[in-house]
């Protein structure tokens, strides 16, 4: 087994490194650990916009990254330790989560913390979740990865993942907002995420005497960064990959009541309908037609609205007011 402690706190880099390691080490078992600066990690089959508070995420410069595995959205920061096991697919049952969570449970039990695996894939203490896990199979290997909440900013977690469920109608996988807790209140005084990481690495070495700690080479880092540029930091992967959905929102501004309905396919607007009691000189159908083919992305919508005279469609308004409809 190779044990790798990522040198990066960049969520794009660390999520990309999981895919890179599948090709770099097609047969060797791997235990990867990493910590990310504030970021939201979206399950592969989720509608990104339906999982995040976009305004809050943008205002606080929180990265949004889609991972390769299914499951729900999670928040990462430096108070959260992330682990990723890579093994050959045929060695274990795909639905066996206990094998790869046992080292974490063992470390905590040795600290007299009554952690345990409950349900299919969650680790709990006192009935509260501190770790969620997901799996994927690819290229003959299986990856199980998960989070460990040590001292994460819970208020940011709640605010970043707070979304209006009435905006979206789709069949994408929805996150289950379980009651979660940090382990910091159960751990010894002045305990840190890094200290827990060190204990977990030591536990893995104890259970796997032949395990070897290795580091990403300069070539590895260059290749991972290439994958980041090519895929993991792109709008197409993180937002455009979302399943088809219908979006709706209504606003009340001095010019009147306006309601927007969008049909979105792979992140692009396929159909738009605008209703309201506003007065304008041009047919709103013209604007609906202009929206077709645009990304459901605020920057692109803003550019479109700034390129036209919005007052001709809605009366006395400014482009930022209309942009609120698309959030």
What are the 10-residue block averages of pLDDT along the chain, 327 residues in total? Answer: 97 97 91 97 91 92 94 93 89 66 92 85 88 86 91 93 72 67 92 95 92 96 98 95 91 89 94 88 92 95 95 92 93
Query: Is residue 50 within 8 Å of residue 168, measured between CB atoms?
Result: yes
Over residues 5-58, the pLDDT tens digits come to: 999 999 999 999 999 999 899 889 999 999 999 999 999 989 998 899 988 999
CA–CA distances in Å: residue 252 to residues 292, 301, 302, 325: 24, 19, 19, 10
pLDDT of residue 93: 60
* Beta-carbon contacts of residue 193 (< 8 Å; ≥ 6 apart): 35, 78, 79, 80, 81, 150, 151
> How many Cα atoms sit within 13 Å of 164 on the Cβ side?
12
d(CA 274, CA 296): 15
- Token output for 165: 């469920």
Minimal CA–CA distance to 101: which of 125, 74, 123, 68?
123
Neighbours of 25 (CB within 10 A): 15
Query: Is residue 318 within 8 Å of residue 310, measured between CB atoms?
Result: yes
- Domain segments of the chain: what residues? 2-239, 245-324
pLDDT of residue 298: 92
> Which value, in Å, is the radius of gyration of the alpha carbons in the chain?
23
Minimal CA–CA distance to 157: which of 177, 139, 140, 174?
177
Element (H, E) at 142: strand 141-149
pLDDT of residue 92: 60
End-to-end, the C-alpha distance of the chain in Å comes to 46
pLDDT of residue 11: 98
- Of the candidate CATH numbers 3.40.140.10, 3.30.930.10, 3.30.70.2190, 1.10.10.10, the domain formed by 2-239 belongs to 3.30.930.10
**Domain 245-324 bears CATH identifier 3.30.390.50:** yes
């Amino acid at each position: 087994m190779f044990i790798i402690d990522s040198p990066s706190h960049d969520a794009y880099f660390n999520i990309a490194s999981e895919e890179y390691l599948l090709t770099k080490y097609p047969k060797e078992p791997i235990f990867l650990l990493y910590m990310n600066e504030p970021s939201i990690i979206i399950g592969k089959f989720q509608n990104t916009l339906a999982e995040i508070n976009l305004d809050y995420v943008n205002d606080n410069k929180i990265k949004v990254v889609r991972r390769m595995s299914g499951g729900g959205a999670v928040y990462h920061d430096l108070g959260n330790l992330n682990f990723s096991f890579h093994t050959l697919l045929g060695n274990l049952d795909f639905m066996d989560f206990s094998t790869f969570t046992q080292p974490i449970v063992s470390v905590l039990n040795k600290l007299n913390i009554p952690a345990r695996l409950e349900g299919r894939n969650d680790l709990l203490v006192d009935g509260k979740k501190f770790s969620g896990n997901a799996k994927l199979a690819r290229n003959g290997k299986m990856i199980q990865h998960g989070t460990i909440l040590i001292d994460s900013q819970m208020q940011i977690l709640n605010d970043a993942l707070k979304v209006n469920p009435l905006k979206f109608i789709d069949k994408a996988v929805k996150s289950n907002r379980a009651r979660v807790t940090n382990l910091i209140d159960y751990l010894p005084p002045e305990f840190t995420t890094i200290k827990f990481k060190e204990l977990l690495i030591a536990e893995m070495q104890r259970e796997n005497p032949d395990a070897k700690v290795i580091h990403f080479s300069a070539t590895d880092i260059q290749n991972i960064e290439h994958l980041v540029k090519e895929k993991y930091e792109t709008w197409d992967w993180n937002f455009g990959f979302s399943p088809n959905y219908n979006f709706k929102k209504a606003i009340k501004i001095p010019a009147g009541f306006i309601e927007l309905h969008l049909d979105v396919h792979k992140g692009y607007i396929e159909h738009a309908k605008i209703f309201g009691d506003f007065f304008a000189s041009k047919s709103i159908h013209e604007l609906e037609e202009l929206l077709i083919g645009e990304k459901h992305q605020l920057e692109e919508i803003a550019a479109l609205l700034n390129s036209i005279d919005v007052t001709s469609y809605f009366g006395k308004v400014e482009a930022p007011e209309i942009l609120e409809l698309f959030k």
